[in-house]
Amino acid sequence: MDPLDRQDLQELAAHEAEQCVSFYMPAERVEAEHAQNSIRFKNLLKNIRQQLQERGLRDAPIDAILQPATDLLDDATFWRSMSEGFCGFMTPDTHLFLRLPLHFEEVAHVSNHFYLKPLFPLIASNNRYHVLALSQNKVRLFMGTHQGLDQVDEGEVPEGIADALAYDDPEQQLQVRSHRTANDQQGDGEAIFHGQGSGEQEFRSKPQERLKRYFREINNSVKELLKDESAPLVLAGVSYYLPIYREVNSYPHLITDEIAGGNPDQLAPHELHEKTWQIVDPHFQAAQEEATERFQAAFQKDNGHASAALEEVIRSAMFGRVDTLFTPVDEFIWGSADTETGEIILHGARQEDSVELLNMAAIHTFTNGGTVYALKPEHMPVDEPAAATFRYAADMSTA
User: What CATH homologous superfamily does 302-398 map to?
Assistant: Ribosomal protein L30/S12 (3.30.1330.30)
Distance CA 223, CA 48 (A): 40
Distance CA 118, CA 107 (A): 9
pLDDT digits (tens, 9 = 90+) for 61-101: 999 999 999 999 888 888 888 888 999 999 999 999 999 88
| Strand 233-236 versus strand 129-134 pairing type | parallel
Question: What is the CATH T-level fold of the domain 6-115, as seen in this structure?
Answer: 3.30.960
Q: At residue 190, does pLDDT exceed 60?
A: no
Which residue ranges make up each domain of the chain?
Answer: 6-115, 129-281, 302-398
For residues 359 and 194, the model is more confident at: 359
pLDDT digits (tens, 9 = 90+) for 207-247: 678 788 889 988 998 888 888 788 899 999 999 899 999 99
- With residue 296 as reference, give the H or E element that holds it: helix 269-301
Express the helix, strand and coil content of the chain in percent, nearest 5 each: 45, 20, 35
Q: At residue 123, does pLDDT exceed 90?
A: no
Considering the domain 129-281, what is its CATH architecture? 2-Layer Sandwich (3.30)
Q: At residue 33, does pLDDT exceed 60?
A: yes
